[in-house]
Amino acid sequence: MIIETKKEYEKIFRTHYSELCSYAFNFMKDIDDAEEVVQSIFVKLWENKNNLHIKTSIKSYLYSSIRNRCLNSIKHIEVRERYKEFNKQEIELEQNLQDNESEKTEMEQKVRTIIDNMPEKRRRVFILSRYNRLKYKEIAEELSISIKTVENHMGKAMKTLRKELTQVAYLIILLLIC
Amino acid sequence: MKKEQKHITEEQIMSYLLGEASMEQNSQMEFWLAHSEANKQYFEQIEELWINTEKINPKPIVVNIDAAWKNVSEQIEQKNTKKVVFFTNKNIVIKSFTIAASVILLVGLFLIFNKKSPQMLSISSSTEILIDTISDGSIISLNKNSKLTFPEEFSKNKRIVKLEGEAFFDIKRNETKPFIIEANGAYIQVLGTSFNVRTDTVSKEVIVYVKTGKVRLYFIDNNNDTSDTYLTAGEKGFINKQRGKAAKDTVNNTKEQANEIFWFNKILIFDDTKLADVVNILEKKYKVTIIIADHSLKNEILNTSFENESIEQILEIISITFNASFSKENNTFTLQHENN
C-alpha cells in the first residue's frame, strides 16, 4: 500500500497539487476548472487507496488520471481530437525528457518546489511576473499592493532561488566528483 | 564608490532586467556593472537564473494550496464518516441498530406529542406569471405553467423547495440557513442572491442564470458522488443528472444577460443588432411570426432597449426608426418600407 495514513496523503497532496493544477490548466484553460479536476482526482485517490496498483510512480499515476479526466470533461469531439494529437506529442516529449535529461528535470522540480514554498503573496507576484509576464504596475493593481512591494517580493524571490539553487548546483558537482 | 556597490540588491537587478527601473537607476546599474568583474558575474548569475526559471513545464499558475487542502480534507472526512456505519465489525453494526431504533422511537414519540409535521404548500401558475413572497421573505416569480413546493415553515438549518418549470428567485439572505432548490434531480444552493432557474421536461436539463451573488449547482449520483459547479453573477450553469457533470458558461454582455430573464422583467436589449436577428429573437419571445418583406431592411442595425412593451408597440418603434410600416394578420406580422 502506498498511502497508509492521512499524513502521508497530505504530504503527497501538498507536494504535487500546484504542479498538477498547472498541468490540468493546459487542458481546461480555466484555473477553477483545473483545480476542480485535480481535487476530485485526489479524493478518488484516497477512496481507492486500499486497492491501488501503481506500476510506475504516484506522480505519473496522478498525471495520467488527470489527463484522462480533463479529456473526458472537454466536451466537443473536435477539441478532444486536437488534444489527442497534442497528447501524443506530449507523451513523446515526456519520454525524451526521461531518457536523457534527468538532472535538468531534477533542477526544474527544485525550482517548482521553491516557488511552491514561497509565502502566498510572493508566490503570486513571482508567477504573475515570470509566467504571465505582467508588468510591475499590473501586478500591483491585480493584487492591490504597491509597486514598491512588488519590487521587494521579486527581489526576495530571486534571492531565495539563488540561494537554494546554488546549493543544488553545488551538490550536483559534488556528486559528479565523487 | 564602495558604498554604492553594496547598495545594489537582487531587487534592483530584477527591476533593471525587467525594464522596470528609472533612467537614474539604470545608469547607476551600468556604472556598478562596469566597476568590477565580480559585479558583472553576480549580475549574470541572476540573469541566468531568471532565464532558467522560465523553462519549467507545465508553467506554474497561482493556486492556494492551503485552501485546496482544506477542501479535499473535508471531502474525504465526510466520506470516512459515511463508511463507518456500514463497514466496521458486527458489534458496531448492532450498536448502530440500537441507536437507530431509539432514534425512531424518540422521533415517533415526538410526532405523537407534537403533531406538527411540516405541512407542504405549493404555488403554481398556468397562463399567467405569478409572483409570491414565501415565509422567509424570499420573492419567487413563477413563469407560466410552473410549480413550486415548499414547507409551511422551513426547518432549523435549511430552506428546501422543489421547482417544476421556470422561476426567478430573489432570495432573502440568511447565512445560517442555505436555500436549496431541487429541480429535475439537481440542486441549486444559495445563501442570498437573485437568479433564474429553468427546467426542461424533455431533456431533463436544468439551466441556471445568476443575476447577483453566488450560486452552487450540483447533483448527487447513484454512487453518492457529487458533481458541482459554482456560478457567479452573469454566469449560466447547466446540469443534467442523466448525462452527469455540471458545466457553466459566461453570459458576457448586458444584452444577453437581460434577454436571459426576459420572461420575468420583459426587458430586451439590442445593441448593434441586425434587424433580421432582432426579428428572430422577437419571434421566440412573443411566439409570433414576423416577415421582413423588404430585403434591404434585414441589414438595418438596431440599438435600443424595450421594457415591458407589447409586440405591437415594439414593431411600431422599429417601423418609425427605419421609415417602415407593419401589418398584422392572425399571428403573423409583416414589416415593409413605408413607400411600398
CATH number at residue A62: 1.10.1740.10
* Position B271 in a domain: yes
Domain count, chain B: 4
Within this chain, do residues A176 and A132 fall inside the same structural domain, yes or no?
yes
Q: Are A116 and B18 in contact (CB < 8 Å)?
A: no
C-alpha cell, B205: 436539463
Q: Which of A44, A65, A100 is the last residue of a domain?
A: A100
Q: Is residue B233 part of a domain?
A: yes
Residues A122 and A76 in one domain: no
B213 with B281, same domain?
no
| CATH number of the domain where residue B309 is located | 3.55.50.30
Do residue B69 and residue A131 have CB atoms under 8 angstroms apart? no
Q: Which amino acid is at B121?
A: L
- Boundary of a domain, candidates B203, B228, B255: B255
Of A36, A107, A131, the CB nearest to B60: A131
A106 and A96 both lie in a single domain: no
Flag whether residue A135 sits within 8 Å of chain B, measured between CB atoms.
yes
State whether A23 and A44 are in the same domain: yes
**Subunit contact A17:B63, Cβ cutoff 8 A:** yes
A108 and A159 share one domain: yes
CB A62 within 8 A of CB A16: yes
A149 touches chain B (CB under 8 A): no
Same domain as B270, residue B243: no
ipTM of the complex: 0.77
Is residue B10 less than 8 Å (CB to CB) from chain A?
A: yes
Do B39 and B130 lie in one domain? The reply is: no
**Residues B300-316: b if buried by 16+ CB within 10 A, e if exposed:** bebeeebeeeebeebbe
In a shared domain, residues A67 and A51:
yes
- Are B325 and B338 a contacting pair, CB within 8 Å? yes
Does residue B164 lie in a domain region? yes
Which tens digit of pLDDT belongs to each residue from B193-223? 888 888 877 777 888 888 887 888 887 777 7
| CB neighbour class for B13 (10 Å; exposed up to 12, middle 13-18, buried from 19) | buried
Residue A127, CB-side half-sphere exposure with 13 Å CA sphere: 24
Clarify whether residues A128 and A53 are in a common domain. no
Same-domain status, B198 and B173: yes
Helix, strand, coil percentages for chain A (3-state, nearest 5): 85, 0, 15
Same domain, A94 and A106: no
Q: Which of residues 70-129 of A touch B (CB under 8 A)?
A: 73, 75, 107-108, 111-112, 115-116, 120, 123-124, 127-129
Asked whether residue B168 falls in the same domain as residue B284, the answer is no
Judge: B64–A120 Cβ closer than 8 Å, yes or no.
yes
Q: Residue for cell digits 431533456?
A: B203
Shortest Cα distance from B288 to chain A (angstroms)? 34
Domain boundary among A44, A72, A100: A100
Total structural domains within chain A: 2
d(CA A90, CA A26): 12
Burial class (CB in 10 A: 0-12, 13-18, 19+), A6: middle
| B285 and B300 part of one domain | yes
Tens digit of pLDDT at every position of chain A (178 positions): 567 788 889 999 998 999 999 999 888 888 888 898 999 999 989 888 887 777 777 888 888 889 888 877 765 545 556 666 666 666 555 555 444 444 556 778 888 889 988 998 999 999 999 998 899 999 999 888 999 999 999 999 999 999 888 776 666 665 665 5
Which of chain A's residues have a Cβ under 8 Å away from the Cβ of B75? Answer: 39, 43
Residue B272 region, left (φ>0) first, then alpha (ψ -120 to 50), else beta?
left
Residue B59 is assigned to a structural domain of this protein: no
Q: How far is CA B148 from the centre of its chain?
A: 21
Q: Are both A131 and A72 inside the same structural domain? A: no
Please tell me whether residues B224 and B152 are part of one structural domain: yes
Residue that is last in its domain, among B197, B229, B255: B255
- At a CB cut-off of 8 Å and minimum separation 6, what does B233 contact? B210, B211, B212, B213, B214
Kindly state whether residues A89 and A174 are assigned to the same domain: no
pLDDT by residue for chain B (340 residues), tens digit each? 444 445 688 999 999 999 999 999 899 999 999 988 989 988 998 998 898 888 887 888 888 888 899 989 988 887 666 544 444 455 555 666 667 777 777 766 665 555 455 678 888 888 777 778 888 888 888 888 889 998 888 887 888 899 998 898 888 887 778 889 988 888 888 877 888 888 877 777 888 888 887 888 887 777 767 777 888 887 888 887 666 666 776 665 556 666 677 777 777 878 778 898 889 888 877 888 999 988 888 888 888 888 778 888 899 888 888 888 899 888 899 998 876 5
**Torsions phi, psi for A29 (to 5 deg):** 60, 20
Measure CB to CB from residue A130 to each of B11, B15, B54 and give the nearest one.
Answer: B54
What angle do the packed helices A31-47 and B65-87 form, to 10 degrees?
30
Taking one residue from A and the other from B, the number of pairs with CB-CB distance under 8 angstroms is 118
Q: Which of B208, B188, B205 is nearest to B196 (CA)?
A: B208
| pLDDT at site B287 | 83
| CA A91, A96, A98, A102 torsion-angle sign | negative
Look at residues B204, B202, B160, B165 and name the one whose alpha carbon lies nearest to residue B182: B160
The beta-carbon neighbor of B10 closest among A10, A115, A159 is A159
Range of the domain at A60: 1-100
In a domain, B290, yes or no: yes
Q: SS3 for chain B, per residue? A: CHHHHHHCCHHHHHHHHCCCCCHHHHHHHHHHHHHCHHHHHHHHHHHHHHHHHCCCCCCCCCCCHHHHHHHHHHHHHHHHHHHHHHHCCHHHHHHHHHHHHHHHHHHHHHHHHCCCCCCEEEEECCCCCEEEECCCCCEEEECCCCEEEEECCCCCCCEEEEEECEEEEECCCCCCCCEEEEECCEEEEECCCEEEEEECCCCCCEEEEEEECEEEEEEECCCCCEEEEEEECCEEEEECCCCCCEEEEECCCHHHHHHHCHHHHCEEEEEEEEHHHHHHHHHHHHCCEEEECCHHHHCCEEEEEEECCCHHHHHHHHHHHCCEEEEEECCEEEEEECCC
Residues A2 and A54 reside in one and the same domain:
yes
Residues A174 and A124 in one domain: yes
Q: Is B78 within 8 Å of chain A by CB?
A: no
> Nearest chain B Cα to A14, which residue?
B65
Q: Which range marks the domain in which residue B10 is found?
A: 2-53
Q: Which of A43, A92, A139 to mutate to test the interface with B (most CBs of B within 10 A)?
A: A43
Q: Looking at the domain assignment, is residue B283 inside a domain?
A: yes
Is residue B126 domain-shared with residue B206, that is, in the same domain?
A: yes
> Among residues A75, A100, A125, which one ends one of the domains?
A100
Residues of A within 8 A of B16 (CB-CB) are none
Task: Look up the CATH number of the domain holding residue B127.
Answer: 2.60.120.1440
Q: Do B58 and A25 touch (CB under 8 A)?
A: yes
Contact A154 B56 (CB under 8 A): no
CATH code for position A151: 1.10.10.10
Q: Do B63 and A21 touch (CB under 8 A)?
A: yes
Q: Tell me whether residue A18 is exposed, middle or buried, using C-beta atoms within 10 angstroms of its C-beta: 0 to 12, 13 to 18, 19 or more.
A: buried
Yes or no, beta carbons of A155 and B73 under 8 Å apart: no
Are B131 and B109 part of one and the same domain? no
Closest CB to B60: pick one of A36, A75, A112. A112
| Cα separation, B57 vs A62, whole angstroms | 16
Residues B43 and B93 in one domain: no
Find the largest Cα–Cα distance for chain A: 54
Same domain, B247 and B214: yes
Report yes or no on whether pTM surpasses 0.80.
no
Cβ contact (<8 Å) for A111 and B9? no
* Grid cell locating A47: 477512496
Write out chain A residues lying below 8 Å of B247, CB-based: 75
Is residue B261 assigned to a domain? no
Instruction: Note whether A155 contacts B64, CB cutoff 8 Å.
Output: no
Residue ending a domain, choose from B205, B223, B255: B255
End-to-end Cα distance, chain B: 89
Using a CB-CB cut-off of 8 Å, the residues of chain B touching A27 are: none
Q: B260 lies in a domain?
A: no
Give the gap in angstroms from C-alpha B314 to the nearest C-alpha of chain A.
Answer: 38
Q: Do A116 and B230 touch (CB under 8 A)?
A: no
> In this predicted model, what pLDDT tens digit does every residue of B242-256 receive, in sequence order?
666 667 766 655 566
